[in-house]
A and B are shown apart, each in its own frame.
Chain A
Amino acid sequence: KNEVEQSPQNLTAQEGEFITINCSYSVGISALHWLQQHPGGGIVSLFMLSSGKKKHGRLIATINIQEKHSSLHITASHPRDSAVYICAALARGNQFYFGTGTSLTVIP
Chain B
Amino acid sequence: DGGITQSPKYLFRKEGQNVTLSCEQNLNHDAMYWYRQDPGQGLRLIYYSQIVNDFQKGDIAEGYSVSREKKESFPLTVTSAQKNPTAFYLCASSISGSETQYFGPGTRLLVL
Contact = CB atoms under 8 A, between A and B. Distances in A.
Interface of A: 2, 4, 30-31, 33, 35, 40-45, 48, 86, 88, 90, 95-101
Contact of B101 (A41, A45, A95): A45
B43 interface: yes
Interface stretch (B14-22, B66-74, B77-85, B102-110): B102-110
A98 B44 CA distance: 8
A45 B41 contact: no
B23 interface: no
A90 B106 contact: no
A100 B42 contact: yes
State which size class the interface on B falls in: 10 to 19
B106 A45 contact: no
A97 B59 CA distance: 11
Nearest to B99: A31
Residue from B42, B45, B102 whose CB has the most chain A CB atoms within 10 Å: B42
Contacts of B90: 41, 43
B105 A99 contact: no
B2 interface: no
Given A88-B43, A100-B41, 9 more contacts: A40-B105, A41-B90, A41-B105, A43-B103, A43-B106, A45-B103, A48-B100, A90-B99, A98-B44
